């Protein structure tokens, strides 16, 4: 019997009409917006999504009218299937999105229909957070419970892979390629700005390992690169009035320029696919800011998408969960 691999990702609106309902789903998740009275979760989600829909829609229009995340994730799934097959493992690959189609329940329906009895759950988030991998797994288990648990399906969870050697190698390779494209490609003169998706500070205080994982990824990548370039960490994409991890990416850019830095390479450390946070925030919003501040050069490391080294890393993760089970 073929093993199955379920790829978890955030999901994204594919059209402008999808933006508001996508935001509603996002803010309906108590792991994203935590309020003490659960009955108020959906009314608050409706208010936030309605309030933010116009601005978010405008941003999506700037990147082509919708998120490419579903298309890219589907392509990653097919590339992973082909890579596993090349290595002698015939597996079915499924995609389950948390906040937009195809939802996790759709993937589970396909898994049941295909008769899968051995399943690997692989989140496309390198660093663990309760708001990403944690939320996806929680929703996955809830969906299984609604179907009576489906205990005939053996499940193996990959919870984190932020320091996996294949992932680190792939990321370091991309960074090195981009450093070489600067007007002054001496690594000592290219500052590496790892821009991570922010989370509320309270999550970290309550034990979420996300910040530690992010720092560990950066440490491993820096080591792989020979520790030649100056390294910085910043955070993007915060929403709402609560205290989020700092410094923000715009704050860090201002600080670096004030210190005389002339070349900066932005690295989307939390993101393995192109979507709104890379295509709008890093490529438009922060690029415009960098030009305004007077940086001589601002570049951004592309997200992995289907880069062979990254797909190979995903295959390594799967194989390590099925070390002796080729079919």
Rounded Cα gap, residues 233 and 237, in angstroms? 14
Reading the chain (327 residues) residue by residue, the pLDDT tens digits are: 899 999 999 999 999 999 999 999 999 999 999 888 889 999 999 999 999 999 999 999 999 999 999 999 999 999 999 999 999 999 999 999 999 999 999 999 999 999 999 999 999 999 999 999 999 999 999 999 999 888 899 999 999 999 999 999 999 999 999 999 999 999 999 999 999 999 999 999 999 999 999 999 999 999 999 999 999 999 999 987 789 999 999 999 999 999 999 999 999 999 999 999 999 999 999 999 999 999 999 999 999 999 999 999 999 999 999 956 443
The pLDDT tens digits of the residues spanning 274-296 come to: 999 999 999 999 999 999 999 99
Q: Is the dihedral of CA 46, 51, 57, 60 positive or negative?
A: negative
Q: Looking at residue 303, what DSSP letter applies?
A: P
Token pair recorded at residue 58: 């405008």
Rounded Cα gap, residues 6 and 210, in angstroms? 22
Which residue ranges form the domains of the chain, and what is each CATH number? 165-300 (3.40.50.1400)
pLDDT value for 38:
85
pLDDT value for 244:
97
Q: Looking at residue 61, what DSSP letter applies?
A: H
Question: What are the residues whose beta carbons fall under 8 Å from the beta carbon of 74, sequence distance 6 or more?
Answer: 95
The pLDDT tens digits of the residues spanning 88-116 come to: 999 999 999 999 999 999 999 999 999 99
Q: Which single residue is written with the structure tokens 């320091």?
A: 163
pLDDT value for 325:
47
CA angle 6, 118, 308 (to 5 degrees): 45
pLDDT value for 326:
43
Task: Give the ranges where the chain is alpha helix by DSSP (H).
Answer: 19-27, 41-62, 69-86, 104-113, 135-146, 165-179, 201-205, 210-224, 249-258, 276, 286-293, 308-321
- Model's pTM, two decimal places? 0.96
Nearest-Å Rg of the Cα atoms of the chain is: 20
Helix (H), strand (E) counts: the chain: 12, 8
Cis peptide, bond prior to residue 244, ω within 30 of zero: no
């Amino acid at each position: 019997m073929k093993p199955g691999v379920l790829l978890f990702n955030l999901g994204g609106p594919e059209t402008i009409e999808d933006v508001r309902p996508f935001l509603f789903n996002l803010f309906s998740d108590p792991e994203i917006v935590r309020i003490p009275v659960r009955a108020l979760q959906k009314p608050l989600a409706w208010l936030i999504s309605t309030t933010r829909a116009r601005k978010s829609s405008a941003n999506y229009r700037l990147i082509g009218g919708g998120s490419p995340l579903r298309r890219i994730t589907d392509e990653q799934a097919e590339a992973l299937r082909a890579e596993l097959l090349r290595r002698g493992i015939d597996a079915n690959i499924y995609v389950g999105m948390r906040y937009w189609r195809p939802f996790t329940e759709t993937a589970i329906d396909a898994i049941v229909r295909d008769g899968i009895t051995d399943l690997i759950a692989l989140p496309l988030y390198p660093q663990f957070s309760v708001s990403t991998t944690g939320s996806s797994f929680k929703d996955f288990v809830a969906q299984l419970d609604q179907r009576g648990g489906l205990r005939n399906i053996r499940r193996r969870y990959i919870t984190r892979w932020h320091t996996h050697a294949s992932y680190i190698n792939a990321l370091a390779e991309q960074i090195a390629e981009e450093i070489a494209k600067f007007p002054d490609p001496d690594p000592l003169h290219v500052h590496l700005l790892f821009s991570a998706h922010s989370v509320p500070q309270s999550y970290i205080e309550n034990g979420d390992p996300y910040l530690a994982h992010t720092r560990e990824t950066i440490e491993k990548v820096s080591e792989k690169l020979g520790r030649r370039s100056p390294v910085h960490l910043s955070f993007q994409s915060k929403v709402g009035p609560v205290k989020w991890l700092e410094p923000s990416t715009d704050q860090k850019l201002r600080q670096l320029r004030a210190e005389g830095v002339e070349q900066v390479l932005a690295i989307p450390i939390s993101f393995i696919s192109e979507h709104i946070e890379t295509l709008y925030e890093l490529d438009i919003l922060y690029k415009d800011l960098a030009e305004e501040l007077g940086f001589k050069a601002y570049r951004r490391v592309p997200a992995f998408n289907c880069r062979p080294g990254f797909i190979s890393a995903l295959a390594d993760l799967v194989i390590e969960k099925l070390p002796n089970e080729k079919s």
